[in-house]
Every structure is written in C-alpha cells, then in structure tokens.
Structure 1
Amino acid sequence: MEIEDGSGVQDLQPRTSLGAPSDKSTMVGLDDELIQILEWLERDSLLLDTLSIVGMAGIGKTTFARKVYDHQRIQMTFHIRVWVTVSQNYNERKIVLDLLDSMKKLTDEMHKETSELKHVLYQNLKGWRYLIIMDDIWDMEVWNDIRCLFPDDKKRSRIMLTTRLETVAVHVNPRALHHMRFLNDDESWNLLCEKVFGATINDDESWNLLCKKVFGEDCCPRELNQIGTKIAKNCRGLPLAIVLIGGLLSKSTKTQSYWEYVVKNLSSVITSNDDQCKRIMDLSYDNLPPHLKVCFLYMGIFPEDYEILVSKLVKLWIAEGFIEPVTRKSLEDVAEEYLLNLVERSLILVSKKSSKGKTKTCKIHDLLHQLCAREARKESFFHVTDMSLNGLPTDISMSHVTDKNLQSLPTNFISLRRVSIHPNTETNCVHAKSLQPSTVRSVLNFDPMLHLSVEFLKSRLLRVLDVNSFDFPTESFEFLKLVNLRYLACVSGAREFPSSLYKLRNLQTLILHGTESSFHLPLEIWRMPQLRHAHLEKVNLPDPPKAGVEEEHCLTILEDLQTLSNVINFRCAEDILRRIPNLKKLGILYVDVRVDWSDYYLNNLARLQNLETLKCLFDVPYPPFLQNLTFPTSLKKLTLRGCFLPWKDITIIGSLPNLQVLKLKRNAFNGLVWETKEEQFLQLTFLLLEKNNLKYWKADHIHFPKLQHLILHNCRRLIEVPRGIGDIPTLQKIELYYCSDSLVTSAKNIYEEQCDLGNEVLQVRIVEMTHDE
C-alpha cells in the first residue's frame, strides 16, 4: 500500500516471503528477480517446463541467464546443465552440435547425420534432471524444430530461453515470461562504479575509501561523484550502456571536464567508441521487415527521452503513408498492430497505459534513438535541427524552387523530406529562417519557444505540419495551397479559419487549439470527406448546412471521421449525426448555454451506433434535460462531469453491454446513496468516482464481476469502500486521493483482509489530505 500525506509515499504491496539467495550475488542489482527465477526452476512440478527471459538489446538477458546457470543452487539441483547460443543465423545441426559440446559429449569422430546426432543428444538427456539455456532466440521456428530433442521423464527438468521478441516467448510458453527491468538509479551508479573503479559505492564512507584507493587521497572532488551519478542516471538503466561507458571512463583521465563532456554527449560517445554496441543494437533493426523499419526509424524524429503520445504517433504514421491497408481493418487498427509488434520486439518501451489497458504513451531508449538518427542520416529519412536550422543540408536556403528547376537541384537538396525542429538550450535564436525547398514533406516543431511564420510554407508536397503557432495573414492563407497536407496541428491566435479550408481536400487529422476565447471553424469543415480525426480546443464547430439550401452545400457524409473531440456546445440533431455515421470517439463541452436545452438533442446520441468513447462535460448549473439520457450500446468508455444526475439513473449506464471504463468526474451524479443493482456493469474493468456528495455506496463483488481498477478522488463524504469490493477476483488496484479518514480506513481493512486470504495481487495506493485541506 502506498500512503502519501505530503511528506512521503508508502506502498501496500502483496506480502510475499521470498528467501535470500544461498550465495552472494556478484551481479549489481536484480537480486529479487534472481530469487524469483531460482524458485521457479526449483519448484515441485515434475513436468518439463519452459521459461523465457524477454527484454531489449543490452538489458542484460544473457548476463542474467549466466548468473542463473552458474548459481550454486542450480548446480545442486540439476544433474546436467547445458548452454547454447542460437542467434539470428539459425542452423539446426549447429545447435545440436553446440548442445552436445556443452555437455562434453562431442567427439572428433562424430561426423554423423543430423538425425543421428539428435538421437545421441536425446539419449544423453533421458533419465536425468537437466537445465537447458538457449540464449538469443530470434525465431519461433527454432523452438518448433528442436522441442522434440528434450525428453520429458517427469524429472523436474527445465528449459530457459532469452529473446528480444515477446512473440517468440509467448509461442514457447505464454504462462512463463519474465520481462527484464531496467536498473534503478542506485543500481546504475553501483554498476558504473564497479566498471570504472572495480568496486561498488553504497555511501559517502565507501566513496571516500574508494577515492583513497584510486586517487591516493582521502577523497576526490565531490563534483566527480555528482557528475558520475548523472552519467549513470542518463544511461536510462540499460546495463550495456553503463558497462560500455564504465569501460571508457576506466581507461580515460578521471577529470571533471571530461566527465562533463561525457554526460552531455552520452549516446554519441558510446556508439562512436564501441562497435560491439552498434552491432548489438543494429541486430534488432536489421531483423525488422521493411514496413516496420520505417515506423521504427520515425521514432527518431522525436527528441531524446520524449514521451510520445501513441494516438499522435499512429496519426503521423498514417499521414506519412507508412501504414499498409488491410481488408476489414481501419488504418488506425493496423498502425496499433505495428506499434504492438515493435513493443514485442523490445524496440519501443511502454511508458503509460490507458484506462482501457492500451499503450497510451511510449518511449525508446537513448541508444536506440541514436540508432534511428544514424540510419536516418544514412538514408536521408529525416533531418533534425534547432530553431536556427543548423544541421540541415547547406543548400536548403535557396530562395525559390520551382517545378521547372527541381530536376537540376543537388541530390542532398532533393533528399530533404522530413524536418524535425528540437529545442536547443544553448542558442538564443528567436526566429527561424524560411524553409523553402519544394521537396519538404513533413515539418514537426518540438520547440515551444519557436514561433514559425507561415511564409516558410512553399512545398506543395507537404504532408505533415505539426507546429506550435502560426502568424496567420489577415487576407491570404498560404497554407491553403498545401493540397497534399494530411496532418495539421497548430495553435492559432486568429478568430477564424477561412472558408476555403475545404481546399485541403486530403486532410486526415486536424488538431487545432485556439488562443482566443472563441475560435470559429467555417461551414466548409463539413466538406472534407477525407477527415478522420478532429481534435479541437477552444474551437466552435458550426452546424453543417442543411441539404438542399444551396447546391454547393449538398449533403456530405464524413464516412471516415472517427474522432471529434472537445467540441463546444455540440448539437446532436439527427441531420448532423447522419453526416458522421462511423464516429468512434466524441468529446463535448457545454458552456454558457443560452438557448433551450432541448435544442441539443442529447438523447440522439444512441444513433451513433459505432461510438466507443464518449466524454460529456457540463460547465453549466443543473442541466435539466439529462433525465432519461440514453447511450449507444457500442460504448466502451464513458466520461461524465457536471451532469447532476440522480444515482437511480446510473442503471442506464450499468446496462450498457460493452462498457469497460467509467469515469464519473465532478458532480456527474448527485445524491447521498448509490445502491448498485445486480446484472449491471458486467464488462466494467475501470471505475473512477471524483468529487461528489455520495455518502453511502452499497455494492458487492457480484455487481462489478470484472473490475480491475478502482479510483476514488476527493470523495470526502463517502464513509467506506464497500467491503465486498475486495472480493472481486479480478481486482488489482484501489487508489484513494484526498478522501475521508473512514474511507481510508475501510480501504486498509480490505487490503489486510485480502492479504490474510492469500491475495498477492491487490495493491492499494492512498494519498491522504494534509491538515490544512
């Protein structure tokens, strides 16, 4: 359990009793993981079983497996221990020979057929308790071919594999996967010290003793210690990076200036000084199919350590044309499959998950980011610059490029396809030069201080434009000539877009944030049939013109529109909803409503039969028309705020057959008592209750049979969490933020009861109110 009162956090985690290892581990960190693996290998199951160690390149899978293999407990448990390295170039005969060689059963006379060698191997394993470690497997066919070589004599034999590919691990045994974690800051620092100085550092006294040994002094400059911890931290917990930089530092002059240089240029220092690191990282990239290579390389267009919003990444991939259409699947679904494939290959790291359990944000490790940047330069895939446009090909500053003279331009000029502008803390530039070459396809700006002018838009081939702000001309709109634009994300200080917006006929994604209190889109937004996603902030979306009023405004069906979010005072009239029949995500904010509420027709929401996510927020007092509100049965996620609905009406929501996530934010419901009914919320996995006047919540485990995650936020009148909630078999986490003392006590009691019943899954997190709240 985790308790926070402003001064600290405490976790209530499952109470387990793992014994200490029988001998002292020389590996820095991961001792807990080592114990878990040893216990799995030694458990009582008589049948032959397999376990896979999964993780990205350089995370220490082989080192960890070797530690297991050499452990004294393993040597005492298994009669035979066999190690074989498989790698990418799979050769069945070589694997068999390597297995026999590891067992000391290979002789010079063994010039036999592969089938005979297999028989020899099988016979030498039969009747013994053995441990086979197969290191670095890349293909599930390897397992299919060699599985029959290992007899199952019910001797508690085990096979352990290491792989970068989760798909391989799942194929071998989906129930036994161990994902290698990154080292924490302390473990990273200790590993670095071991590689640089030959000893670990646990405290100031150890540091001083080490300095005396290394430098012949009682201590060295404290700055070196501080820089060293920063170097270790900047390795992002990857053992390969720490070991390589540690080896480099151990051979170099131990001066503050050099260490400062290293900490500022860590990734490039590692890759430029170690060919082995390049080879290890490149293997993962080289193994990718072409359609995943471009998606992975694109990750380098984001700044280092940037937390990438998956929904944005997917839209960018689609706009760039990376996603191959698949029958009966949307481009977004295919893109998410690509992302999952890269995650399973340990190339992309999941940072946060959404309430629906999907990947919400992701990152790539700095060394993989460096790989992307290196390959991108090689292939002219994209160019990274800062606000001064440093680092771009030297001849991009040509003042004018036309279709006629395009063929005569230098090759490096023509290859300028994508430009990514990153922040540069070392420059004082406040304006960017113009980007004028007509070959630019994409411009992405990640510098919040950079204010780009619309004048740089000279490329009619531009597909992606992601910038912070524009200086819109008052009359002419240069960017409307960008007929190939598929993705536009910007902040605007203007009051309205021009009516010629529809000329961006290929636009798929529009992300628009207005700075004025009222920003208006033109009616022509409804004449853009390619539009797939519209994310609008402080933007008013007009009602579409009615069919037949004018010939040019004939009814246009936006069949591809999937997302329409943060729309102000959206009217759900039937003629409007008919134009967006395939909408999957809708977000509405009602503010300053001055007309008859019935004009908004919210009961028509049920007509959106493909709607999966709905957010409906009210910043108005007591909207009376919400009584008897209905929702489409396709709904999977629902967020409400400010509706002031009576708790008896929640049965309408509870009866939704596909609802998985429910977020009831500030005053979504009003009343002191919520009595949950049976046969409700049958698919619900996530429930948030926030800032309401609820006092008594009557519920049992049968009411939320699939609930996994419960969050109570600012529920200061609620007396207790229903005791039966703890008995829900799927429940994994309860979180309380700034709730009443009695509610906190009830959550703690549930946790203790579940621990006593042997429930090792449930976690409880509590952030308590401070005394002045």
Structure 2
Amino acid sequence: MADYVVNFLVEYLSQLLEKEANFFGEVEDQVKSLHRELRLINIFLENSRGKRNEHAIVKEVVRQIREVAYESEDVIDMFIIKVAEHRRRSSIGRIVHFPKHAKMLRDVGKKIAGIKNAINEIYNNRERYDIERATETVDAVLAVEALHRRRREVEEDDVVGFVDGSSTLVKQLIEGDRDCHVISIIGMGGLGKTTLARKIYNNARVKRHFECRAWVYVSQDFRTGELLLNILKDIEISDWRTLEETSVKELKEKLFKCLLRKRYLIVMDDIWKTEVWDELRSAFPDDLNGSRILITSRIREVASHASLTPPYFLPFLNKDESWELLSKKVFRGGACPPELETMGRKIAEDCRGLPLSIVVLGGLLANKKKTPGKWSTLIGNVNWHLTETNTICKDILALSYTNLPRRLQPCFLYFGVYPEDFEIPGRQLIHLWTAEGFIQHAGNRSIEDVAEDYLEELIDRSLIQVTRRRTDGGVRKCRIHDLLRDLCISESKEDNFLELLNHDSRSFPNKSRRVSVHGIFPLNIFSNFSDPPCARSLLFFGDYENRDWNLCVKKLKLIRVLDFGCITLHSIPESIETMMHLRYLSISFSSFVMDIPDSIRNLSNLETLFIMGYPGRSYSVTGIFKLQCLRNLHMKGVKSFSCRLDEVLWNLQVLSVEMSYFELDKFPCLKELRISNNFESDSKALDFWKGLHHLRCLQILRIVDFPMLPMDSSSFPLTITKLTIFTVGFGFGGGMTMLGNLPNLQILKIKHCDDINYMHVSRDSFLRLEVLQLQDLVGVTKWKQDGTAMPCLRYLVIRRCHRLRMLPSELWSLTALQKVEVELLSNSTLRRMLQELEMNVSCKIVIKTFGILYRKNKYIGQQPHDV
C-alpha cells in the first residue's frame, strides 16, 4: 500500500504547488524539496514490485516508506487547515494570532525536515543493501512450485457441477470449423477452472479425437523456454532432455515440427498475461485439421487477446451442488446422517458456491468427529476456519491481488469497507474512490469515466461480481465474494489502510486511515480519538444512533469521506466548515434538523454531497450552491421555494433534486439531471422547460411528476442520450412524436404515464434509439409504428401494460433487435407476438407471467433482466 500512498501524495503536492503557489509561504521550498524526494521514492517502489515477499529487507523498507508517507500527509493536511483558519480571521485577529501562526510555520518546517531525513536514511539503506538489484531467490521459486502442488491437492477428480460447461466445451473442441481455435475458461480463483479443464482433457471423446495432447501450467512468472520444454515433454518427445540448453527460437521450431500435420490439443492452465500468447502462438501450426488450444485464466483480457471466440465464464455452484460436493468430500461416498444434513447444507451454503472453499472445508470436516456439536461451531464462522486454520484458500486468492496493477490495488481493498453480502451501488463506489484520490487522471476523460474503467477491470479479473447492470451497460450493483472480502480486510489491516468496528470493538483505531462501522456498538467508542487523528474516511453501516456529530467534527478534521449511511442526524453543527478536506459527505436528517447551516459553503473541496431530508420539511440550501468543487449533488426530500444563485458551478456534473425553482444556466457543464416537479405554478414549470436549453452537455435526464411534456423537441438539449419519464402528462401520446425527433437519444424509459392511450411512432423517428422500456402504461391500448422508425432498437421491455392489445408487426422486422422482455401482457397479445417473432430468429424473447420466466416457450428461471 506504500505505492498508493506515495503516488497519491506526489500527485496531491503537485496540485497544491501548482494551484496554491503562495499557500505554503515560508515553507514552500521545503515542501517542494519533499515533493522531489517523494518522486524518487515512487520510482524505487515501482522497481521493487514483485520482490517484497521474497526479501525481508525490501518489505521492511516499504513499510518504513508507508509510515513516512502517512506522516507527510498528516503534516501537510494539518498545515492547510491551520493556514485556512488563519486566513478566515479578521485583520486584527491575524495580528493577534501572528506569533502563534509563525510558531506553527516553524514547527511545520522542522517536521518536514525530519521527514526528509527519514526519507534520505531509507534511500541510503536501499543502496547499502543493494535492494534494487535483488533478484528472485531460490526460496521464492520453490514457494511458487509448492503452491502449485497444493493447488493440485484440492482439485477434485469426482467433479460436481460443470455438466453444462463440460458438454459445451467438449463440443467446441471436437466440432466446428477446422481452423485452429483458442477456447478459454474464465473465472475467479478457486472456482474450478483447472478442475473443469482437466475433466475435459481426460474426456474419452476428446482423447479419441486428438492425436496428441499436452498440458502446461503457466503461472504469473512464466518463462517461455520452460513452457515450450514442458509441452514437448508432455507430447512424449523422447529427446526432450537434450533440449534443456536450447534457445527459445529453436524450441519453437522443434515444437512446430512436432505438431505439424497432427490434430493436437494444448491446455495452457492459469494464464495471467497476454504476453504468453504473443510468445507462444508462432509455435502452434494451423493445418486446418481442427486442432485446439484451451486456456484457463482469471482475466477476461487474456481470453479476448488470444481468441475472438467468446470465453466460457464458469458459474458458482448452486446450493444443491455445493452440498453434494461437501458431502462427497466429508463422507467419501457414504451417506450423511440425517441429523447433520440441515447443518451441512447451511455450512455448504456459507461457502457461497466456491468449490475451493467447499473442498478445503470438507477436508477439515472429514477428519473431525461428525457430531451436531462439532458442526454447529462452523455455522457463521466458515471463513475464519478457511483462512485461519488452512492457508491454501488465502494463498490462491491472494495471487489475484498481488497481480493487480498498483493503481487498482487500493480500489480492490476498498471493498472491505462493506458488510458481507452487501449489494454495492456502482456509482456510489465510483464517487468514493474518486473522493479517496484513488483515480488517476487520463487526458481529457472525466475522472468518473476512468473510475468506471477501473471497476470493469476488477470485474474482468474475476475479483468482483456484477449483480445488476444499467441499460447503458454500466454497473448498477455489484458484490464481492466473502473470502475475497476477508482478503481485503486482512491486507488492509496490515497496511493501516482499513479497519472495521463492530459490537465487539472497544476503542477507535488510532492508526488506520479508513474506519468502517458495522452494526450497533458502544456509544463511547468515539471518546478516544487519536490526536492528531489519522482517519481519512468514516463510513457507517448499521443502526448506530448518533444524537449529533460534534465530536466527529471536532476530532476528525483531516477526514475526506464521511458517510452516515442510514443514520438520522439530530443536528448539523456550524463548525462543519472546519472539515475543509471533506470531499464526500452523505447525511440523513431527523425531524430535529431545522436548517442546513450556511457555513457548509466553506467546504471548499467537497465533490459529492448526498442529503436525505426529513419528509415534508423545507430547508434553505443556498450555501450548498456556493461549493465550487461540487461534482455530484443528490438531495432527496430537500425542498426550497426559492434558490436564487449568484455563482456558476462549472464543475457540477450530476444533479438530483426535488426543488421548486432554480436557475439551470448556473450549471453549464451538467451531464445528468434528475428532477421531481415541486413548482408553485405552471409558469414556473414552463420556465424550467425553457431553461433546459442552457444545458449543452446534458446526456441523462430523468423527470418525475410533470403535468405535461413540451410539444417542441427544441426544448430538450440535443445532447441527450438517455431519457426517463415518470408520471408525466403525454398529451394523449403526442409526446412520442416530439421525443422521436431527439437526434442522439439511445435509451428511453416511459413509466406510469396514465394519459397515453395511443402510441404512434412516425417514419424516420428514433433513429439512434437502442433501448425502449414501457412500464405501467395502463391507458395505452394500441401502438402503431412506421417501417423506418427505430432502426437501431436492440432491446425492448414492456411491463404491465395490461390493455395493450396489439404490437406493431414492423417491430419484428428490425434487424438490430436482439431481445424482447415482456411482463403480464394479455394472452392474445403474447400469442400474436410469439408467432411474428418466429420470423426474427436472432431475437430472444423473455416472458414473465405470474412470476415464471419463459424464453420462446422454454422455462428459464424466476428473475427478469433488470433495466
């Protein structure tokens, strides 16, 4: 974690020195010197990656660097607060406090000098112990080989599950065209990729089909020569021992000749880098005889780099499969006693479908007394037994973490702040990462877009599971497997990155930079903050009751992230302005909160603000609209009858409000607007529609409870790509004509609009629309569509439009249409739709009727696709 801390501090100081050149005053030169030293340290950290677990000296030096970086951050942040406090004083106050201010400057100078001396000593140690030239030790190589052997021990020969995956992959291997194809299996560590690949490798049909087969284990630190030699050894080349000193080029030529004119299968297990395929591909001939290469990896990019064939994503085991695997491992073919089955199923369920967990736990249970008393101790403590009494689980999963680029490591560890099984909102996570300073700027791209790329990369590396996606493809909700979450927590605690508080906690962590509070815990826990405080983030998940948060404001002055979750606050102190480093704030109000203090305007670094107001209460929010760094503002239940703005908020990107009036021209860079109508009169609503044209960057618009849509499409910014309309007057369907003229509209959702009884989609309208959702339109009975409309529509959703009797036949001739999802349509409409859809063979239909899902008359499950 020293990598992230130093890199963040280097960027942080760069920005401060660039934007606040006169801020540091007498200590500016010392800060610049510290900045230069940290940049050198940053280079050393980059060069030392991969050597820290093998070299105790390197590991200790990195630990010292982390501590020094934390201390540097504390000194700089506290200095900024002191200077800001001094600047806020009156002229007389500055004169009175000048001696104290001067002493503070001298103290900061001494501290920076001490930090520089510590850095120099660390850097001298680097040269003294010749750390940068340290190479991988024999012990490290042996450790990798030992882990590989231990992995083989937990592979199961009697495989449970994988039936569909095995048959699908066997078919891909022995059927299809005769080109040499690469087929891939992707999934989280411990999910059974190697087990499935070995099952396929030993399949009787596969053995008969291929003339020669080879299996090679790749790993993170692959060596091309060793891989080539191992393949040659596996295809039974008699003289392979004479090739041990042969060059890579000659080994490739030898392998190429050996495989030429043979139908072969090569399995490359556990690939981590795309370079593996680049290095080996020229050694595999393509004689158009149906040869195949099967790879396993945790990383989607590896699969897409090696082949255009979509990878097979290995699923988690379901509850029955989990219990079947556990019982086979524990009872070794025998029957489970009836009194243990309920407990056993619960233990298996707690493994969350991960075969590695089940196999390891089964091995532990197999050697223990099989009694209800012994088994009951495991319920609710499965992860502890897996990670504390057996390290194979942690070691295998930790490979994914150590292989991450350093820019992604803090993002992954951050998942540890959330409780077990928590569905994590994707956008909230992105805002938190941004506030924490994890995201690196990339040219002209918005920092939120870069953060979304980071999240997708963690998903592609099989570390995070997506539970719901938005219609634009972004992550709506995601989660992390319990064992990976435990890995995040253990790695974080060692580096003081994160610590959890719960009902067993007795003191507030003194050194951790982030604190996550889960459940109910003693109220007096906040009375023993460290001084100066180290925490930069405080997040609540649970029912802790906080009468006020004066103590947080008083002690946690350096905090950047403060999320009270579902806790309702009884007061907002005026002294909130002292938390000037705050970048992310999420708060909910009880009925006791009468107003939002105007001092909130002094939170000059605040980027994201979530406010949940007390229902029906009006608040003055003028101070909020003074926050120049604000990028995301969400206010629910906060209503104001007047909010005249004096300043333009150039950085505001997302605005979600329930307000009676505000001036849209003050938000010229707004990209997303979500608004509920609370206007005093129709004239005010008309002013809103007129003001929309000021938002020339707006892409996403959600409008709720408006009496009528404007009939002129020029009222909407031409930049809009996604539009959600909820309980809005449509003028008996005429609004569809207007919306069809929006040139860039790609996603349209219309919900609970009761006055639509007839929909007409006219010729050459909705030319770029890709997704259309119609939901709870109880009045609509007929839908007419001209043939040239919606040429790009790929996904159609119709939910609970009970009176809709006829869908236009022109829909089914749309060549881009891929999926239609319907819920609770009349039987006659469904029958007609199914008949007409048969003409469009590429389109899938999902029908939900009384909680049951069908796809083209075939049962497929219970859960509809979320949009």
TM-score scaled by length of structure 1: 0.84
Residue type at the aligned position of 2:534: T
Q: What secondary structure sits across from 1:62 in the alignment?
A: helix
For residues 705-737 of structure 1, what are the alpha-carbon distances to aligned partners after superposition, in whole Å with 9 as ceiling and x for unaligned? 332322222212210233332333333433333
Partner of 1:405: none
* Counterpart in the other structure of 1:719: 805
Contact 1:662 1:684 (8 Å CA) reproduced: yes
Identify the match of residue 742 of structure 1 among 825, 828, 851.
828
- 1:530 maps to 629
Unaligned 5+ segments in structure 2 are 1-156, 853-867
State the match for 1:79 in structure 2: 211
Give, as a single letter, the amino acid of the residue that structure 2 aligns with 1:74. V
In the other structure, the counterpart of 2:766 is 681
Q: Which runs of structure 2 are paired with 1:235-634 in the superposition (5 Å)?
A: 235-386=351-502, 388=503, 390-391=504-505, 394=507, 396=508, 413=510, 415-423=511-519, 433-434=526-527, 436-437=529-530, 438-448=533-543, 450-451=545-546, 453-457=548-552, 458-467=555-564, 468-473=566-571, 476-493=573-590, 494-541=593-640, 544-545=643-644, 555-571=646-662, 576-591=663-678, 593-594=680-681, 596-597=683-684, 600-618=687-705, 622-623=707-708, 630-634=715-719
Distance 1:542 1:436 in 2: 41
- Number of the residue aligned with 2:100: none
Distance 1:179 1:382, change over 3 A: same
In 1: Cα distance, 2:219 partner to 2:547 partner: 48
Query: Cα 1:66–1:289, aligned 2, differ >3 Å: closer, same or farther?
Result: same
Deviation digits for residues 72-97 of structure 1 (CA, Å, limit 9, x no counterpart): 11011110111111101110110011
1:193 maps to 327
CA 435–479 in structure 1, closer or farther in 2 if over 3 Å, else same = farther
From 775, 784, 789, the equivalent of 1:703 is 789
Partner amino acid, structure 2, of 1:325: H
Report if aligned partners of 1:701, 1:726 keep a CA contact under 8 Å in 2. no
Task: Give the direction of change, closer, same or farther, for the CA distance of 1:81–1:521 in structure 2 (3 Å limit).
Answer: farther
Moved more, 127-136 or 513-522: 513-522
Give CA-to-partner distance per residue, 1:174-200, whole Å, 9 cap, x none: 33311111111111111111111123x
* Structure 2 CA distance for partners of 1:284 and 1:685, relative to 1, 3 Å: same
8 Å contact from structure 1 (residues 627, 645) kept in 2 = no
Identical amino acids, percent of aligned pairs: 34
Contact 1:432-1:450 at 8 Å conserved across structures:
no
Secondary structure in 2 matching 1:506 = coil
Question: Which residue does the alignment assign to 2:271?
Answer: 137
- 302-311 or 622-631: bigger deviation: 622-631
Q: Is 1:659 the equivalent of 2:733?
A: no
Q: Which residue of 2 aligns with 1:181?
A: 315
Q: Within 5 A, what are the aligned runs for 1:114-125?
A: 114-125=248-259
* Larger CA deviation: 693-702 vs 373-382: 693-702
Secondary structure of residue in 1 paired with 2:585 = strand
Aligned to 1:672: 757
Task: Check the 8 A contact 2:762/2:786 in 1, yes or no.
Answer: no
Match of 1:60 in 2: 192
Give the secondary-structure state (helix, strand or coil) at the position aligned to 1:84.
strand
Shift of 1:747: 3.8
Contact 1:486 1:507 in 2 (8 A): yes
**Residues 1:85 and 1:189: Cα distance change in structure 2 (over 3 Å):** same
Greater share of helix residues, 1 or 2? 2
Equivalent pairs, count:
685
Comparing 452-461 and 162-171, the one that deviates more: 452-461
- 2:723 and 2:748 in contact (8 A); partners too: yes
Measure, in 2, the Cα distance between the counterparts of 1:512 and 1:585. Answer: 17
Q: How far has the Cα of 1:100 moved from its partner?
A: 0.6
- Report deviation, 1:235: 1.2
**Offset of residue 471 of structure 1:** 3.7
CA contact under 8 A between 2:643 and 2:661: conserved in structure 1?
no
Structure 2 CA distance, aligned partners of 1:343 and 1:598? Answer: 43
What secondary structure does 1:86 align onto?
strand
Identify if the C-alpha distance between structure 1 residues 627 and 117 changes in structure 2 by more than 3 Å, giving closer, same or farther: closer
CA distance in 2 between partners of 1:174 and 1:704 (Å): 29
Pair 1:94 & 2:242 matched = no
Q: Which residue of 2 aligns with 1:690?
A: 775
Residue 131 and residue 769 in structure 1: after superposition, are their counterparts in 2 closer, same or farther (change >3 A)?
closer
Paired with 1:62 and 1:48, the residues of 2 have a C-alpha distance of: 22
1:125-166 Cα shifts (integer Å, max 9, x gaps): 000000111111111111111100001111111111111111
Task: Specify which of 186, 203, 210 is matched with residue 335 of structure 2.
Answer: 210
User: What secondary structure is seen at the aligned counterpart in 1 of 2:392?
Assistant: helix
What code does the residue aligned with 2:167 have? I
Cα distance between partner residues in 2 of 1:80 and 1:640: 61
- Asked whether the 8 Å contact 2:545–2:568 carries over to 1, the reply is no
Give the alignment partner of residue 345 of structure 2, picking from 229, 241, 250.
229
Alpha-carbon distance between aligned partners in 1 of 2:787 and 2:474, rounded to the nearest angstrom: 25
Query: Letter of the aligned partner of 2:180 in structure 1?
Result: L
Find the aligned partners of 1:709 and 1:616 in 2 and give their Cα distance. Answer: 22
- Structure 2 CA distance for partners of 1:277 and 1:317, relative to 1, 3 Å: same
Letter in 1 for 2:771: F
In structure 2, relative to structure 1, the CA distance for the partners of 1:731 and 1:250 (3 Å cut) is farther
Contact persistence 1:739–1:768 (CA under 8 A) = no
Give the conservation status (yes or no) of the 8 Å contact 1:612–1:636: yes
**Partners of 1:702 and 1:58 in 2: CA distance:** 50
Change (3 A) 1:746 1:446: farther
Q: 1:626 to 1:499 in 2, by over 3 A?
A: farther
Q: Could you tell me whether the CA contact under 8 Å between 2:712 and 2:738 is conserved in 1?
A: no
User: In the alignment, is the contact (CA less than 8 A) between 2:558 and 2:581 conserved in 1?
Assistant: yes
Q: Which amino acid in the other structure matches residue 300 of structure 2?
A: E
Of structures 1 and 2, the one scoring higher in RCO (CA 8 A, sep 6+) is: 1
1:318-352, Cα deviation, whole Å (9 max, x unpaired): 11111112220111111111111111111111111
1:556, CA displacement in angstroms? Answer: 2.3
Following superposition, the deviation at residue 288 of structure 1 comes to 1.1
